[in-house]
Amino acid sequence: MTDTVRVRFAPSPTGALHIGGGHTALFNWLWARHMGGKFILRIEDTDLERSTKEYEETIMSGMRWLGLDWDEGPDAGGDYGPYRQSERLPLYRKYAEQLVEEGKAYREGDAVIFKTPEGVKLAFDDVVYGHIEVMSETLKDTVLIKSDGMPTYNYAVVIDDHCMGITHVIRGEDHISNTPKQLLIYDALGWDYPAFGHLPMILGKDKKKLSKRHGATSVYEFRDMGYMPDSVFNFLALLGWSAGENNEIFSRDEAVALFELSRVTKRAAVFDMEKLNFINQEHLKRLDPYTRLELVEPFWREMGLPVDDHSREYLAQSLVVLCGRGQTAKEAAGYSDYFLTFEAVKGRYDGSDVDDARREILRKFYGELLALPEWKAPPLEEFTRTWSEEHTAKMKDIAMPLRMALTGMKVSPGVFEVAEHLGREECRRRLAHFGFIRSAD
């Protein structure tokens, strides 16, 4: 055993990394990094029918996307391997034989079954849930090795955690009922218990267990929807833990510095997409323009927009002008298509809402606007304000058609900032298309 904090995440490779698994992995990672310890990835692949190497790789890719690096694991190696249960079978047989020889387990065909003793008080102090006691009479005999030679979960997890020097077992609260069964095996083998900390259940907003009906459930689905890994990390960290009052947006390093297992709550956590959207939007705002561009660009390309027709500087600045609109990179791409092509605008707006009388007023105004010596947002706005006062026109009545002609949207960033970024000639072209300026202008 070791004095260094050692924690593990032990997924079964029978599917992608889902939110519950990502949450468990993240809390283990945070505790290891906070304590200067080791985070171990162990693959529990004894379900031979459902476990696949493809799912194993998908889980590891999901963890890498979240930024959860591991110190030991199937691909990283380490002094406590192998790190796949299917490669540790001799170890499970060894201790099962020992228990049989000591009369603590018995054979039933090819299976080995643990004999539950009577009158034993099984007690542990859970870091989150406090003191828990169970009498052994409430437990049945436990299968250790199945007839196919594979260990059961409650047996293998004890052998692995002890032999890998795991100091803290941090897992979902649905495992609390398994812990007394595991304590029996620790006791039978004469081993010390690790510390246990069970994490709160994650519920949907309807207070039911999280499932596909609540939306995306795998980590990769959030990536494909345009969420940032830092945002999903931030959001998952807040499910059952608080970084302090009024501290909802934080970096990984800040989370590592602040994290304490003792501050994990046992109250069920609610998976609120609106909160995730808010967190993601705040993280997007904090990015430098070119990093933000890297996130948004794939979605522009997916939309078939002419990304390569523009400079990187122009594209990055487009997202600055967008001014934080869009809660995901995918939404930001959708809200900014008019910066890349006029075709998107024409697909949404045809100018038919402006009658002839109003069109004449607009032609006079836009003609003078396009003639201004400086094409910058402040003078454009100042001129518009002054012109509307002098001509007893409402500012919105002359600014809204400009917004529609340039963006095709009723809601956009400041229309004068948009006009400045598009440039005078592109604005002239768009206004001319809708007949909002005279041909001589």
Q: Is residue 53 part of a domain?
A: yes
Report whether pLDDT(214) > 60: no
Mean pLDDT of all residues in 291-303: 97
Domain count within the chain: 2
Domain assignment of residue 230, yes or no? no
pLDDT of residue 145: 98
Residue 396 annotated among the catalytic residues of the structure: no
What sign results for the dihedral spanned by CA atoms 201, 207, 213, 218?
A: negative
Q: What is the pLDDT of residue 206?
A: 85
Radius of gyration of the chain (CA): 30
Q: What value does the mean pLDDT of the chain take?
A: 95
Answer whether residue 20 is part of any domain. yes
213-233 mean pLDDT: 85
pLDDT at 215 over 60: no
Largest CA distance in the chain: 102
- The answer to whether the beta carbons of residues 139 and 116 sit under 8 Å apart is yes
Joined together, the tokens standing for residue 413 give 């960033």
User: What domain range is 182 assigned to?
Assistant: 6-197
Q: How many CB atoms sit inside 10 A of residue 211's CB?
A: 10
For residue 384, is it within any domain?
yes
Residue at which a domain ends, from 144, 178, 197 = 197
- Model pTM above 0.75: yes
**What is the distance between the alpha carbons of residues 420 and 406, in angstroms, rounded to a whole number?**
11
CA 347/CA 148 separation, integer angstroms: 63
The angle subtended at Cα 245 by Cα 244 and Cα 246, nearest 5°, is 115
Q: What is the pLDDT of residue 244?
A: 83
What is the tens place of the pLDDT at every residue in 111-150? 999 999 999 999 999 999 999 999 999 999 999 999 999 9
User: What pLDDT is attached to residue 1?
Assistant: 44
Phi and psi at 140, nearest 5°, equal -90, 170
Last residue of a domain, one of 159, 181, 197: 197
Which sign, positive or negative, has the C-alpha torsion 69, 75, 78, 82?
Answer: positive
Task: Tell me the C-alpha to C-alpha distance, in Å, between residue 273 and each of 23, 278, 327.
Answer: 15, 9, 11
Is residue 209's pLDDT more than 90? Answer: no
Backbone angles phi, psi at 427, to 5 degrees: -65, -40
* Residue 205: pLDDT band with limits 50, 70, 90: confident
For 367, 376, 414, the CA distances from 383, given in Å and listed in that order, are: 12, 11, 15
For the residues 89-108, what does the mean pLDDT come to?
Answer: 98
pLDDT band at 213 (very low <50, low <70, confident <90, very high): low
**Sign (positive/negative) of CA torsion 13, 270, 194, 180?**
negative
The answer to the question of residue 215 being in a domain is no
Indicate the helix (H) or strand (E) that contains 417: helix 415-422
**In a domain? residue 58:** yes
Residues shown for the chain: 441
Residue after which a domain boundary falls, among 136, 163, 197: 197
CATH code assigned at 41 = 3.40.50.620
C-beta atoms surrounding 287 within 10 Å: 16
CA distance 89 to 149: 8
- Condensed to tens digits (0 to 9), the pLDDT of residues 24-42 reads 999 999 999 999 999 999 9
| Whole-angstrom distance, CA of residue 427 vs CA of residue 439 | 14
What does the pLDDT read at residue 216? Answer: 59
Say if CB 205 and CB 271 are below 8 A apart.
Answer: yes
Phi-psi label, residue 367: left if phi above 0, alpha if psi -120 to 50, beta otherwise: alpha
Classify strands 6-9 and 38-41 as parallel, antiparallel or unpaired. Answer: parallel
- Evaluate whether 173 touches 25 at the Cβ level (below 8 Å): no
Binned at pLDDT 50, 70 and 90, residue 430 comes out as: very high
Residues with Cβ within 8 Å of residue 189, at least 6 apart in sequence: 95, 98, 99, 158, 162
* CATH code where residue 414 lies: 1.10.10.350
Q: Tens of pLDDT along 233-277?
A: 999 999 999 988 889 999 999 999 999 999 999 999 999 999 999
Contact between 428 and 370 under an 8 Å Cβ cutoff? The reply is yes
CA angle, residues 302, 305, 309, in degrees to nearest 5: 130
Across 393-403, average pLDDT: 93
Degrees, nearest 5: CA angle 35-36-42: 95
Residues contacting 177, CB < 8 A, separation 6+:
none
Contacts for 284-291: CB closer than 8 Å, 24+ residues apart: 284/228, 284/231, 284/324, 284/326, 284/327, 284/328, 284/329, 284/332, 285/324, 289/316, 289/317, 289/319, 289/320, 290/316
Residue 211, pLDDT score: 67
Q: Is residue 117 part of a domain?
A: yes
Give me the catalytic one of 53, 208, 209, 212: 212
* 189 domain-assigned: yes
Question: Which pLDDT tens digit goes with each residue over 326-381?
Answer: 999 999 999 999 999 999 999 999 999 999 999 999 999 999 999 999 999 999 99
Percentage of residues in the chain with pLDDT exceeding 90? 90
Type of residue at 360: E
